[in-house]
Amino acid sequence: MQWDLKIINGTIVTGSAMYEADVYVKEGKIAAITKEQLQGACTRVVDAEGKHVLPGLIDTHIHSRDPGPTYKEDFAHSTRAAAMGGITTVFEMPNTNPPVNTPENFDLQQRNLDEKAYVDYGLWGICLGPMNLDSIQGLNDKGVIGFKFFWGYAVHEKTFQLLYNYEPGMDDVIPPFDDGDVLEMMEEVAKTGKRFAVHAESSDLIQKLTSRVKDSGSDSYAAFLEGRPNLAESLTVNKGIELAKATGARLHILHVSSEEGVTAVKRAQEEGYPITVETCPHYLFLSDEDYPAIGTSMKVYPPVKFKKDQDAIWEAVRNGTISHICSDHAPHTAEEKTGDLWSIPAGMCGVETMVPLMLNAVHDGKITLPDVVRLLAETPAKLFGIHPQKGTLQVGADADVTIVDMNQEDKIDQERLQSKSKVTAFDGFSVKGLPVMTIVRGNIVMDERVIVGDQGGGRIVKPVETREILRK
């Protein structure tokens, strides 16, 4: 037998165990995992002595802005950042221009991203209420990973761009969709068996409370949180859950940020509903107490909240209420992120820093390495129908591998990020534990903190047919 790649002497990490074994790769697939020396020549041998060998890690939530405001970020930059961050598959959010709102635009987007991708990718489809209800089944047939709904966001009438800071009366704007629209979207998505993923913040409440605090003249982080309180999240999460119960939609709550949001999901899960929820590093590693030191770079939607929320989110990660962790990579330029808290855009870079932060959390005793694999590979792959092709080290799976060195230390330096815009709230954070090799389908894309892969080397990944799951 002739092997393409062999990873020897490393410690394999699964979602539940760690053991010593070598990984043999042939034609982009894992061909064997064994402690025995298998016969045959090998083109490339990687010695992972003292390192951990993880299934390729997945980031289910990134915004590369491509096509669209690519002056902030594009897919070549975001997938280089992914590779540097130990991520082998990203799921690209659909709020591009044009958005992924029709089967035709799915094809356009695939052609656009194919030539830029350094790692593999899946595509989210967007739900735009009555404007694309008749495209949902077509998008499903094309192979979207799931459907995203920006609940409470207004949309520009012509470009379909989201408006971050909507106020009633704006021109050329489709105001946030109403409950009836949401019900119809969920009914349509329920037929596909794929997840209906929502950004859960009540725009009505936010508009009212934000204008109240703004009028009072305050622009502190506390005032900002008064305008977007925990209630804004739990109101919409609860409404989403009720609508999901009524329609049979598999609801997924994106980037949960509050104790109240987590509690609502937990309750629905205990009742037996298939509600899932993700969170992001900024909710795990930051709270309002960090604002004086960090400043506007930590403005995200939903906002980073209080210490008690941070604690509740960690608890929900450990007890399984939170299904997985993703970055919500959402770059804006340094200039855009400078200014008053009310008007600057929300979002920051994340795809490159997520894994180092999570590995550092292993050293801090917050989670284990198998937890990292469960939260960043196995569960997301299962949730979105790409397991066992992705998310696991097993014979026949894609040879996607992330090798990490738990002893390497670094300081996150935003200037060194691979992204086009380099703003992160984690600038200057010390981390112990770094990805040192990223392998996508047997191809080494990052080696010893250097990008060595090819632009265009990434491929689209599509989920298995979920309507079959529904029939079972």
- Footprint of ligand DOR (CB under 6 A): 63, 199, 300-301, 330, 345-347
Q: Which residues, in sequence order, are CB contacts of 384 under 8 Å at separation 6+?
A: 60, 91, 122, 145, 146, 195, 463
Q: Which residues, in sequence order, are CB contacts of 450 under 8 Å at separation 6+?
A: none
Q: Which is nearer to ligand DOR, 136 or 330 (CB)?
A: 330
Q: Which is nearer to ligand DOR, 327 or 389 (CB)?
A: 327
Residue number of the CB atom closest to Zn ion: 328
Least Å distance, CB 328 to Zn ion, is: 4
Residue number of the CB atom closest to ligand DOR: 347
Given Zn ion, ligand DOR, none, residue 10, with its beta carbon under 5 to 8 Å by kind, binds: none
- What residue ranges bind Zn ion (CB under 5 A)? 328
* Cα–Cα distance measured from residue 62 to residue 50, given in angstroms and rounded to the nearest whole number: 31
Least Å distance, CB 385 to Zn ion, is: 20
C-beta of residue 467 within 8 angstroms of C-beta of residue 143? no
Least Å distance, CB 117 to Zn ion, is: 19
Which tokens hold the place of 165? Answer: 């800071």
Given Zn ion, ligand DOR, none, residue 198, with its beta carbon under 5 to 8 Å by kind, binds: none
Q: Which is nearer to ligand DOR, 122 or 345 (CB)?
A: 345
C-beta of residue 458 within 8 angstroms of C-beta of residue 440? yes
Given Zn ion, ligand DOR, none, residue 301, with its beta carbon under 5 to 8 Å by kind, binds: ligand DOR
DSSP output for 97-163:
SS-S-SHHHHHHHHHHHHTT-SSEEEEPEE--GGGSGGGHHHHHHHT-S-EEE-TT-EEETTT-PEE
Least Å distance, CB 451 to Zn ion, is: 24
Q: Which is nearer to ligand DOR, 300 or 377 (CB)?
A: 300
Least Å distance, CB 398 to ligand DOR, is: 28
Given ligand DOR, Zn ion, none, residue 113, with its beta carbon under 5 to 8 Å by kind, binds: none
Given Zn ion, ligand DOR, none, residue 117, with its beta carbon under 5 to 8 Å by kind, binds: none
DSSP state at residue 57: E
Q: Which is nearer to ligand DOR, 287 or 438 (CB)?
A: 287
Given Zn ion, ligand DOR, none, residue 446, with its beta carbon under 5 to 8 Å by kind, binds: none
Place of tokens 């009310």: 342
Q: Which whole-number Å values give the CA distances from 415 to 159, 182, 334, 411, 422, in the listed order? A: 32, 41, 11, 11, 6
Least Å distance, CB 351 to Zn ion, is: 12
Least Å distance, CB 359 to Zn ion, is: 23
Q: Which is nearer to Zn ion, 309 or 328 (CB)?
A: 328
* Cα–Cα distance measured from residue 372 to residue 370, given in angstroms and rounded to the nearest whole number: 5
Sign (positive/negative) of CA torsion 407, 413, 414, 416? negative
Q: Which is nearer to Zn ion, 266 or 329 (CB)?
A: 329
Pairing of strands 162-163, 173-174: unpaired
Least Å distance, CB 200 to ligand DOR, is: 10
Q: Which is nearer to ligand DOR, 11 or 64 (CB)?
A: 64
Least Å distance, CB 63 to Zn ion, is: 6
Cis before 388 (ω within 30): yes
Q: Which is nearer to Zn ion, 201 or 259 (CB)?
A: 201
* Cα–Cα distance measured from residue 344 to residue 332, given in angstroms and rounded to the nearest whole number: 9
Which tokens hold the place of 233? Answer: 């999240």
* Cα–Cα distance measured from residue 108 to residue 104, given in angstroms and rounded to the nearest whole number: 6
Given Zn ion, ligand DOR, none, residue 300, with its beta carbon under 5 to 8 Å by kind, binds: ligand DOR
Summarize the chain as % helix, strand, coil (round to 5): 35, 25, 45
C-beta of residue 258 within 8 angstroms of C-beta of residue 234? yes
